[in-house]
Amino acid sequence: MKRLLPLFTALSLIISGMVSAQETDTVAMMADRIEPEVIKWRHHLHQNPELSNREFETAKYVEKYLRGLGLEVTTGVAITGVVAILDSGKPGPTVALRADMDGLPVPEKNDLPFKSIAKGMLDGNEVPVMHACGHDTHMAMLMGAAKILTEMKSELRGKVKFIFQPAEEGAPSGEKGGAEVMVAEGVLKNPDVDVIFGLHISSNTDVGKVRYKHGGIMAAVDPFKIIVRGKQAHGAYPWKSVDPITTSAQIIMALQTVVSREIKVIDDAAVVTIGSIHGGNRSNIIPNEVVLVGTIRTLNKAAREHMYEAIPRKAKGIADSMRAEVEVILPLDYSYPITFNDHALMDQVLPTLVRTAGQENVINSKAVTGAEDFSFFQQEIPGIYLWVGGKPLDVSEADSPAHHTPEFFVDDSGMKLGVKLLTNMTLDYMKNAK
């Protein structure tokens, strides 16, 4: 009997592999079939973008579609979020799939038949609005996965929770929003979610390719403000002042040494950037106060904790030496954790990526210092975040437009792989769950 066990194990693995391959083929055929619909949804969403926490028409569009699939739908989550549940009727895990919904205050410069000419209100001003980061494709891909998984309901075990999230780009001034609020409102409960999968289209990754990384794939983001207070004086008599401008200049330069001299950059990168300086109003007046606003980006917990200690230390030390006073506000108004791919779950998902995209199209990627509030979901449960290629093959990486710019562009053909990945990761996780 003992000799037969290895044979049984081998046969089990072979049969499991055959089932996985058959499911992958089925998903691929269904993704081919619905691709024109996915493109149609994307074009509509691209042409009608809305700003963060203002995705009212977007939410109605998504809600109507999900109800049409016969799903249990909840609206108004974190203001405009839409959540739908697909219940297989069989015991098993609950898998969440997430897409973000908001556009950006960016004017579109692409000459497309579905170009955005939309406007929105931001801080009391009318601004152009564009899906300049690909959230239109994220929604369309998740809608496609919802369609396929609903049609394959008999193959599922457990439940799928489709999360359409508002305000990933940050809530308007004075408001809260996004993944953090969705989590606080219980989006990962009732039913309790076991794992969550998400993906982001990439304008500089070839169509057909997927990028992954174990551990930190996107940085934590921590905005901060430093207020330097001195003593005002005539610019001709600087010795009568306590100069907050020269103090601020020294603080700015010293902050760069936190990364270059205190962070172990061979392990993970970190960034400190000052993006705003305000102080004074005349050439011949040394002001009382200067305000600096900046951002920190880190890729591991230790570096993040070090930044929180080092920035106030540097600022206070320099201010003391200049006889000035300093106030450090860290974090300033919002803060995103590290987008961290659970190591064990990444190991489990990797064969699915290879089988879906092909070994040559699965790229072990470096981390980026951009940030994503998908990280709030990953703080609560294991999660995987991936980059899916949207760059046309005839465009070089150097010529591909950056995210958050008026020229941002991704090709419709990149979405089909995203649909397949979301679907296959769900099917495989359910099949392998104990």
**pTM passes above 0.85:** yes
Say which of 23, 136, 168, 372 is annotated catalytic.
168
229 in helix, strand or coil? strand
Distance CA 221, CA 373 (A): 9
169 labelled binding-site residue: yes
In the predicted model, residues of the chain with pLDDT beneath 50 are 1-5, 9
What pLDDT does 19 receive?
A: 53
Say which of 55, 63, 100, 102 is annotated catalytic.
102
At 293-321, the pLDDT tens digits run 999 999 989 999 999 999 999 999 999 99
Q: What is the CA radius of gyration of the chain?
A: 25
Q: What is the 3-state secondary structure (H, E, C) of 18-53?
A: HHHHHHHHHHHHHHHHHHHHHHHHHHHHHHCCCCCC
What domains are defined for the chain? 4-219+340-432 (3.40.630.10), 220-329 (3.30.70.360)
360 labelled binding-site residue: no
What pLDDT does 173 receive?
A: 87
135 labelled binding-site residue: yes
What pLDDT does 20 receive?
A: 64
At 137-146, the pLDDT tens digits run 999 999 999 9
Clarify whether 102 is annotated catalytic. Answer: yes
What pLDDT does 404 receive?
A: 97
Under a CB-based contact definition with an 8 Å cutoff, are residues 371 and 336 in contact? yes
What pLDDT does 2 receive?
A: 45
What pLDDT does 17 receive?
A: 58
200 labelled binding-site residue: yes
